[in-house]
Structure 1
């Protein structure tokens, strides 16, 4: 997974300006997609385009090798602190899975 960093602030999306210092020079690096469930919610009543997969979990994952978080979807139930990793990218969305 690519991470973009400036002044210690890291993000999975490339930005024009750093939200902390206003700089525009970003270092790009590859990090593991593994992480830990930071927060989650289960969507029961989904928007029309996602109604066919409801209920589903939207999960905020703190990456292990970066000071960044990624919003993902996970098909199985999870708890805060569970270890997860990228399973696939589907329709430009990160789909993670719980790992042992």
Structure 2
């Protein structure tokens, strides 16, 4: 997975210009597709297009070797601090799975 950095802020979203200093973002690097659950919530009543998935977990994952955080969907239950990794990309959504419990 690539992260893009400018002014000390890293993001997985590629932008042409930094929103802080307005300079062109040229720094990019590869980081592992794994990270640690930073925060999460369980969705019981989902929007219509995701109703068939409910209940499911939406988590904010702190990517390994990066300051970037990523919003992901996880079918399993997780806790803050659990190690997770990318399972697949589906319809533009990062689908992660739990690797190890905190």
Query: How far does residue 65 in structure 1 lie from its aligned partner after superposition?
Result: 1.1
Query: How far does residue 18 in structure 1 lie from its aligned partner after superposition?
Result: 1.5
Give the equivalent residue in structure 2 for 1:23. 23
**CA-atom RMSD, angstroms?**
1.0
Q: Which runs of 4+ in 1 moved over 6 A?
A: none
Give the equivalent residue in structure 1 for 2:9. 9
Query: How far does residue 25 in structure 1 lie from its aligned partner after superposition?
Result: 2.5
For structure 2, list consecutive stretches of 5 or more residues without a partner in the other structure: none
Give the equivalent residue in structure 1 for 2:68. 68
Contact 1:86 1:95 in 2 (8 A): yes
Q: TM-score, normalised by structure 1?
A: 0.94
Q: Distance in 2 between matches of 1:55 and 1:40?
A: 13
Query: How far does residue 64 in structure 1 lie from its aligned partner after superposition?
Result: 1.1
Give the equivalent residue in structure 2 for 1:46. 46
Provide Cα deviations, 1:66-97, integer angstroms capped at 9, x if missing partner.
11000000010000010111011111100001
Q: Distance in 2 between matches of 1:36 and 1:44?
A: 23
For structure 1, list consecutive stretches of 5 or more residues without a partner in the other structure: none
Aligned length in residues: 100
Q: Distance in 2 between matches of 1:79 and 1:86?
A: 17
Q: TM-score, normalised by structure 2?
A: 0.92
Q: Distance in 1 between matches of 2:3 and 2:73?
A: 19
